[in-house]
Chains A and B, each alone.
Chain A
Amino acid sequence: MSPLQSQSVSEAGNARHLLQQMLRVRRLEEKCVELYSAAKIRGFLHVYIGEEAVAAGVIETLTAEDAVVATYREHGHALLRGVSASAILAEMYGHAEGCCRGRGGSMHLFDAATRFYGGNAIVAGGLPLAVGLALADRLAGRRRVTACFFGEGAVAEGEFHESLNLAALWQLPVLFCCENNLYAMGTALVRSESQTDLALKAAGYEIPAWSVDGMDVLAVEEASRRAVDAVRSGGGPHFLELRTYRFRAHSMFDPELYREKAEVARWMERDPIRLLQATLEAAGQLPEEEWAALQAEVDAEITAAVGFAEAGTLEPVEDLTRFVTSEPAISGGSGQGRDSKSRESRVAG
């Protein structure tokens, strides 16, 4: 019996919360697509539509102390980690109010307050960072977990293998979350990997690994909770292969010539949001008015975020060279709140 079917009344509150989290990601990205088509936001835009159960299920099991590392398809991870939809959209508008002051864009969302470390547009580039963040926790004696999201395309990269090896060798607290949506850009897994059983690959590094139905948010949450608990209690790195599917193209430029429409349609029948909604409705745990209210709340959040982003301001061009190197602190300390210009500005001219 799958977790979706076994959902009990006592857990319904959590299920409704997960439903709402997935819907927030869905609505945010549907809005992104709309804004992109209207040329309000530019650059590469990779949406997560169809994969929401992965981010929602995993991030739900983390604490505020934990860290998250993600890829260029990371709007959902950022949002569910606690970065506001307003800050995310403003970033895509290239506005000063964006979470990276307009210097990152869709593929490079970061947020120190929520320990969200990107936003990495190089496939597998985030994996060594996750290993290092976990090493820092280990050496400092902190019981924190670093969750690292990456696609199945990353397993062909050397950094995947180097990172899994290091994490296992040093028994570091990393949860590797492989979002297997079957296509590395436009290349199917079977065309790029000699071994397509990804959990088996991880197991080759002596890392406990499971494959999970990534369209079933409750299954993801359950597996993630088990793995996170094991990682946190000193069990070393763990690996989850989350079998999912993106309903949209790789990016807004992708004509999707590499897969059949029928395949997409088949997967869309397992839409993680509809699956959970239907289960809750069938169990009488999601009255129509409650579902309507939930949707209205999400819609209001996204509408407000668009308003925030629209009303944003542009960073002054005079600040172009800021944040290339750190700026001297005005009154001690480090990090933000610095006003003086980059130390390289004198040679920039």
Chain B
Amino acid sequence: MKTTYREAVRAALRDAIQRDSRVFLMGEDVGRYGGSFAVSLGLLEEFGPDRIRDTPLSESGFVGAGIGAALGGLRPIVEVMTVNFSLLALDQIVNNAATLLHMSGGQFNVPLVIRMTTGAGRQLGAQHSHSLEGWYAHIPGLRILTPATLADARGMLWTALEDPDPVLIFEHGSLYNVAGELADDAGPVGIDEAAVLRPGEDITLITYGGTLPAVLDAAEQLAGEGIDAEVIDLRVLRPLDDRTILRSVGRTHRAVVVDEGWRSGSISAEIAARISEHAFFDLDAPVERVCSAEVPVPYAKHMELAALPSVERVVAASRRAAGSGG
């Protein structure tokens, strides 16, 4: 069937609430307004205010309440409007959600799902555009998901809700309107492994979330130049599936990591480090990285685009990697 990323997330929410009476959605504007990004449009009318719960603008309070509700036996889905705003709830996410299981010696798990948007590209300025999922991927005790495809938008929530531990799902804001075909019987998907979305022999392009479309376009362009690129969609930033990455790099001997976060201390830095730790002698060229410019994301369109990874920059980095060594 033809659907959009937004509709796929909504279908996943509807399905979760119908399937399990412990599940409810809570967040700013999720009810009467229909969701800041129209993801939950219509769900309040369908399920009522106990299951689709509007909250005040108090991220720490309602994220913490989600943790408490999870401790109390429910399966909350908490929506935070953007990753920038999630910083107001960082104490609850890091000091409680991620930590309670360990501090309690295994007694208290926190089966909570937090969804939020991430990423730039819509001229929203710095405070709505950052890509901080890599920060969250730093934290033991959290599972970090970055659905980039319709199948993952539809299926990751189901699996996340079955995880006994806190799961953060980052939905890139520029993906909501992406349309495409989704199997009529699309259901839960695994949340352990990265996916090879395009097999190739000459170079491995590694990315996730909002930059996946650009990377796939770059791979097509490279194919026209005789460079056969393999594209890996990480899907899960923690725990990171380094096996899939290493298996691919072991064959292609070249890697480019594309990450909308800033280069310094980023998830791409972690991936590059793991490749150098575990596949150094497989490499025929230095690992390349395409990240966002180290600036707060600017408003002006040309400046914003210049700050972000682009097809051109991915192609250029891939050419460099393909041309060097070997």
Contacts and interface: CB of A to CB of B under 8 A. Distances in A.
Interface of A: 67, 98-104, 108, 110-112, 117-120, 122, 125, 127-137, 139-140, 158-159, 161-163, 165-166, 169, 322-327, 334-336, 338, 343-344, 347
B108 interface: yes
B224 to A, nearest CB: 36
A334 B92 contact: no
* Smallest CB-CB A-B distances: 5 pairs: A132-B68, A128-B64, A136-B72, A162-B61, A101-B105
Given A128-B68, A139-B50, A169-B56, 9 more contacts: A108-B104, A131-B64, A132-B65, A134-B68, A136-B73, A162-B61, A323-B106, A324-B140, A336-B107
Contacts of B61: 128, 131, 159, 162-163, 165-166
A258 B58 CA distance: 34
Contacts of A323: 101-102, 104-106
B71 A133 contact: yes
Contacts of A166: 55-56, 58, 61-62, 65
Contact of A347 (B55, B56, B108, B240): B240
Contacts of A127: 64
Nearest to A117: B71
B67 A132 contact: yes
A122 B239 contact: no
Interface in B129-188: 140-141, 143, 163-165
A40 to B, nearest CB: 20
19 contacts: A102-B105, A108-B103, A117-B71, A122-B91, A128-B64, A129-B68, A131-B65, A131-B68, A132-B68, A132-B76, A133-B71, A140-B73, A162-B64, A165-B58, A166-B58, A323-B102, A326-B106, A326-B164, A344-B140
A275 B133 CA distance: 55
B80 interface: no
B262 interface: no
A104 B104 contact: yes
B5 interface: no
Interface residues of B, number: 44
A170 to B, nearest CB: 8
Contacts of B96: 120, 125, 129
Interface in B55-83: 55-56, 58, 60-74, 76
A99 B55 CA distance: 35
Given A129-B96, A326-B165, A347-B242, A117 B105 contact: no
A259 to B, nearest CB: 29
B105 A132 contact: no
Interface of B: 24, 50, 55-56, 58, 60-74, 76, 91-92, 95-96, 100-109, 140-141, 143, 163-165, 239-240, 242
Contacts of B65: 128-129, 131-132, 135, 163, 166
Given A136-B71, A159-B61, A326 B101 contact: yes
A42 B164 CA distance: 32
A100 B68 CA distance: 19
Contacts of A103: 102-105
A112 B68 contact: no
B66 A132 contact: yes
B101 A132 contact: no
B17 to A, nearest CB: 13
Contacts of B92: 125, 128
Nearest to A104: B103
Highest count of chain A CB atoms <10 Å: which of B71, B101, B106, B143 = B106
B109 A163 contact: no
Contacts of B69: 132-133, 135-136, 139
Contacts of A112: 104, 107-108
Contacts of B56: 162, 165-166, 169
B101 A325 contact: yes
Highest count of chain A CB atoms <10 Å: which of B55, B65, B109, B140 = B65
A315 to B, nearest CB: 9
A131 B64 CA distance: 8
Given A135-B72, A347-B242, A111 B107 contact: yes
A170 B101 CA distance: 28
A125 B101 contact: no
Given A100-B107, A135-B68, A125 B55 contact: no
B71 A110 contact: no
Nearest to B164: A326
A102 B76 CA distance: 29
Nearest to A120: B96
A110 B68 CA distance: 14
Nearest to B68: A132
A341 B104 CA distance: 17
B238 to A, nearest CB: 8
Nearest to B55: A166
A133 B62 CA distance: 12
Highest count of chain B CB atoms <10 Å: which of A101, A159, A162, A347 = A162
A130 B71 CA distance: 10
B68 to A, nearest CB: 2
Contacts of B165: 325-326
A98 to B, nearest CB: 7
B105 A125 contact: no
Nearest to A98: B105
B71 A104 contact: no
Nearest to A130: B68
A166 B62 CA distance: 8
Contacts of A163: 61, 64-65
A159 B55 contact: no
Contacts of A139: 24, 50, 69, 74
A100 B104 contact: yes
Contacts of A335: 107, 109
B143 A325 contact: yes
B155 to A, nearest CB: 19
A317 to B, nearest CB: 15
